[in-house]
A and B are shown apart, each in its own frame.
Chain A
Amino acid sequence: MIPGEFTYHRPASVAEAIALLVDHGDEARPLAGGHSLIPMMKLRMAAPEHLIDLSGVADLKGVSQEGDVITIGAMTTQAEVIGSALLTDKLPILRETALLIADPQIRYVGTLGGNVANGDPGNDMPALMQCLSASYVLAGPDGTREVSSRDFYEAAYFTALAPEEILTAVKIPVPAPGHGYAYEKLKRKVGDYATAAAAVMLTMSGGTVSSCAIALTNVGDTPLFAEEAASILDGSTLDRETVKKAVAAAEAITMPASDGRGPAEYRTKMAGVMLERALKRAAERAQG
């Protein structure tokens, strides 16, 4: 449980950080909150020779709204997400989710950017970002580009992020006022990854669903955007039969691993149960 030797860098700007990544290539890793990378290094499953700590880059911090888009700097901590008045007002599901991540000590250090960029299917924010139709701003030596969270994840720990790029910000379209939302997470204990979790965003109009987005956490090697399940619910009154069909559609796209949280069969079913409960809670919250 002791990491190997590495050189520690603390750049002050994004450009400087990218230059370090370019210089050191495969031997370098950017460090955000470190709650995934540092344990991997202690287990010597990761052995970067250069650790590029992004905590000195002021540009990577902060939450702001411009028009219909909210931008959150990648180094914004989960605690800052929870404490943000703007996010609590416009994106309450973000706060609800962040409060289910780890414990307060970790949330003071762990970052939104690290959570979404690492590609760990156990992380909660990636599925939520897919549910919110968020996009990621990736900065590299050739400038910046935006990639949708729904296209970002390729496999466990494999993402669209190029080795010389840094995820600098998350952009989230502001949801409609009066929307319903819920993040339901089943976990064994505080600090654990989800056995299964479901994010739901919902708008209702005259008792029927006018829009719906669903994504699932930790029941596949990437976060799962449950498009079909959501489309089944569109236009429905969330009656029992339709919900059952949507849950079955969501369960069908899961491919969880069997682990200490339970066998694959259980985790698939729990994705369904979490979805059903999230739908119920989101519908209760939705106005209209």
Chain B
Amino acid sequence: MNDMTPTREQREAALEGMGCKRKRVEDIRFTQGKGKYVDDIKLPGMLHGDFVRSPYAHAKVTKIDATEALKLPGVIAVLTAEDLKGVNLAWMPTLAGDVQMVLADGKVLYQNQEVAFVVAEDRYIADDAVQLVEVEYEELPVLVDPFKSLDPDAPVLRPDLDGKMEGAHGPRKHHNHIFNWSVGEEEATDKAFAEADVTVKEMISYHRTHPSPLETCQCLASMDKVTGQLTVYGTFQAPHVVRTVASLLSTIPEHKIHVIAPDVGGGFGNKVGVYPGYVCAIVASIVTGLPVKWVEDRMENLSTTSFARDYHMTTEIAAKKDGTVTALKVHVLGDHGGFDACADPSKWPAGFFNIVTGSYDFPVAHLSVDGVYTNKAPGGVAYRCSFRVTEAAYCIERGMDVLAQKLGMDPADLRLKNFIQPEQFPYNSALGWEYDSGDYPTAMHKAMDAIDYRGLREEQKAKQEAFKRGETREIMGIGVSFFTEIVGAGPSKNCDILGVAMFDSAEIRIHPTGSVISRMGTKSQGQGHETTWAQIIATEIGIPASDITVEEGDTDTAPYGLGTYGSRSTPVAGAAIALAARKIRNKAQMIAAHMLEVSEYDLDWDVDGFQVKGNPERRKSMKEIAWAAYHAPPAGIEPGLEAVSYYDPPNMTYPFGAYFCVMDIDVDTGVAKTRRFYALDDCGTRINPMIIEGQVHGGLTEAFAIAMGQEISYDAMGNVQGASFMDFFLPTAVETPHWETDFTVTPSPHHPIGAKGVGESPNVGGVPAFSNAVNDAFGFLGATHIQMPHDAWRLWKVAKDLGAHG
């Protein structure tokens, strides 16, 4: 070996593989404004669509007159439900087993519902024409409060379901009832409550909000009438699913549909579903034979395409005097809006809400969820979370604090007392999940030490005394959150979307010179897959990440996958990538054995190639092996070097974390300042620590927004309030707290590289940390549970009601 030969460490570093803080390769184009989004795509002869929307939340549509609109030069067509009926598309199926109007069919169920679709030569003309379409409405009584949905005299929202008392998820008990989902042991739970030393009960609401990605939903549909080929560019988190759904809806054969998701500017669950805009653009392109683009504006996005949360969770915990929990009982009232368009795996009407037992060893539990209709926009998507896991984490983490307060116990100590212990994994929860791995006490102690938790409690005590003496008008709260997520949907045994199992896929192809093209069934919307997927491959097959191209989002080239949401990409596609890479490495080993004239069993893998056991000087690098695979493949071995893997995960993964929030609240204004926020995440094996940190920062910022003010609300008439960034709280860098991040590593035992997924943990764990800090601050004044969002006026009102204003 001469001085020029790189050391093992140098060779390893050159790969920029797993564990490396590799800079995001996609940022080169994003930071220069060179990303290519749907609205950047312009096709010859392209037309533009825009919607006529309902000003009313609940009304009959008695007449639609497009005469004046059609007179406007440049207007090509105005589509209504009647037109769509001709192609059987006035209604479409939802992912939740319901049906949804594409365009208003005789009535509207929420404000801004799509009524007619104007197609024109440019966007300006389209919008001008929208103003000219005359629609006559007959107002109907509006149902806004989900707690009144099931009143005997509640207005009938869905006459189309008249007499249909069997829904997609079992019997319906009322004309506005969608489903009841019940899980756990009700009798045993009731018994535990009857025998408990202490019980608590609180109705904990998680308000309606919206994922609000910076790029709104949009698509460009282009039907080539000569070839019969439909091409759809769209902001899709799951392009293959869109292709399958489009084929099922349109009856165009699936091989004649080409779906392309170019750069996507954030999804957070907003871009999983199929929206009327997509259907209308496709139909308009089929009708006109020209490309048709539809781009939502901000108000349309916030008020129509997929809200999140809106879960009202009556939570009861039973415990012994010493704080040991003995049972959990939760009833959820889920407000689904006018249609049930939740984006959950098909068999899960309330997603994975049954993770609600959280990080605690509940011997028994019972959960019941009722979904109801209201005159609000449909949705219920997983806003940066695995399906309904944010709601569940908020429910249990708030509930544990309520119990701690009743017991007079410290909330961190109560959690430590009730944690599932490391030796209990794999752990079967009372509501049916098998937690794969975890070490909660270690994470909790590390976090508590890092922030000097006991010291903070002493400071808080002193501040409370000072407040009582009138020396300060500020109160201090310490929010504790210890969440367990369930991500990586999912095993085919329990997860599918419209019958397609929720596997994912990777294809890796090595070029003769040893560089790589790889394609996955996932679709990055900012997660940095182009960077991290290459790192997995780099470590697995010893080719530098910089020599690996990652492509996603084109259904003609990428293998079929279920897309990116619910922190599933790393748990599912990440595994497929590792397994495809290992197939390549296995073949490479055979080729190397031939090249080195030894048995393949006499070879060891070493960073970026194979070496002969006991004689490491004799080695072949992956680059040399790749060349041989194309140049001189050994006899009996197929030329080329590539592999595909479809991965059906054996189980979900269960990331967890300990979050602490320290907050000071000015009782005279209600303004809350986050002094400190510490987030410890355990996402198993860490592929790119820098990207993890970025993910955590982003998710915490969303959690901060949601907890402290971000909401979609409605007035009594069903008018959506604040559907613009003036009122919808999207924090800037100025408002956003400073984030401290930390980690422990408990690899997933069933995942090929031990990774669990992290993108959504900070949103899931962050919201309870903020809300618990607020509640903790007001606790000594007598508050037991304060509903979110915790914006200034609401906290001022809390202070006032608790007598803090004198």
Contacts and interface: CB of A to CB of B under 8 A. Distances in A.
B734 interface: yes
A192 interface: yes
A262 B722 CA distance: 12
Interface in B417-438: none
SS class, residues of chain A in contact with chain B: loop
Contact of A266 (B123, B131, B734, B796): B796
Interface string A259-275: 11111001001100100
Given A2-B127, A44-B131, A188-B729, A269 B735 contact: no
A103 interface: yes
Interface in A10-36: none
A44 B128 CA distance: 10
B793 A261 contact: yes
A141 interface: no
Contacts of A261: 793
- Chain B interface, DSSP helix/strand/loop, else mixed: loop
B226 interface: no
Nearest to B122: A2
Interface string B773-806: 0000000000000000001110011000000000
A273 B668 contact: yes
Specify which of A103, A188, A195 lies most central, judged by the most chain B CB atoms within 10 Å of its CB.
A188
B727 A260 contact: yes
Interface residues of B, number: 27
A262 B732 contact: no
Given A189-B734, A195-B792, A5 B729 contact: no
Contacts of B729: 188-189
Contact of B669 (A5, A103, A260, A273): A273
Contact of A188 (B131, B668, B792): B792
A263 B793 contact: yes
A190 B735 contact: yes
Interface in A235-276: 259-263, 266, 269-270, 273
B158 interface: no
A259 B726 CA distance: 11
A16 B418 CA distance: 78
A262 B123 CA distance: 36
Nearest to A186: B669
A188 B791 contact: yes
A190 to B, nearest CB: 5
Contacts of B668: 273
Given A2-B124, A2-B127, A44-B131, A190 B669 contact: no
Contact of B797 (A4, A266, A270): A266
Nearest to A276: B668
A262 B297 contact: no
A178 to B, nearest CB: 30
Contacts of A44: 131
Nearest to A192: B726
A187 to B, nearest CB: 9
A270 B669 contact: yes
Interface in A172-207: 186, 188-192, 195
A4 B732 CA distance: 31
Contacts of B670: 266
Nearest to B731: A189
B709 A188 contact: yes
A262 B793 contact: yes
A186 B671 contact: yes
B299 interface: yes
Interface string B656-691: 000000000000111100000000000000000000
A260 B128 CA distance: 30
A280 to B, nearest CB: 13
Contact of B732 (A189, A195, A263, A266): A189
B623 to A, nearest CB: 49
Contacts of A195: 792-793
A244 B734 CA distance: 32
B470 to A, nearest CB: 13
Contacts of A269: 796
A121 to B, nearest CB: 15
Given A44-B131, A103-B732, A188-B791, A262 B796 contact: yes
A238 B77 CA distance: 69
Contacts of A5: 124, 128
B734 A262 contact: no
B22 interface: no
B128 A262 contact: no
Nearest to B666: A273
B806 to A, nearest CB: 12
Contacts of B669: 186, 270, 273
A269 B124 CA distance: 44
A234 B749 CA distance: 75
A148 to B, nearest CB: 31
A262 B299 CA distance: 21
A266 B793 contact: yes
A261 B792 CA distance: 8
A195 B85 CA distance: 49
Nearest to A44: B131
A256 to B, nearest CB: 11
Q: Which has the most chain B C-beta neighbours within 10 Å: A189, A261, A269? A: A189
Interface string A144-158: 000000000000000
A276 B605 CA distance: 73
A186 B734 contact: no
A4 B130 CA distance: 11
B792 A186 contact: yes
B685 to A, nearest CB: 37
A209 B69 CA distance: 65
Given A189-B734, A190-B734, 8 more contacts: A1-B297, A1-B298, A186-B671, A190-B732, A259-B727, A260-B721, A260-B726, A269-B796
Interface of B: 123-124, 127-128, 131, 297-299, 668-671, 709, 721-722, 726-727, 729, 731-732, 734-735, 791-793, 796-797
18 contacts: A2-B123, A4-B127, A103-B732, A188-B729, A189-B732, A190-B732, A190-B734, A190-B735, A191-B732, A260-B722, A262-B791, A263-B793, A266-B670, A266-B797, A270-B669, A270-B796, A273-B668, A273-B669
Across the A-B interface, the 7 shortest Cβ-Cβ residue pairs? A262-B793, A1-B297, A260-B727, A2-B127, A266-B793, A190-B734, A190-B732
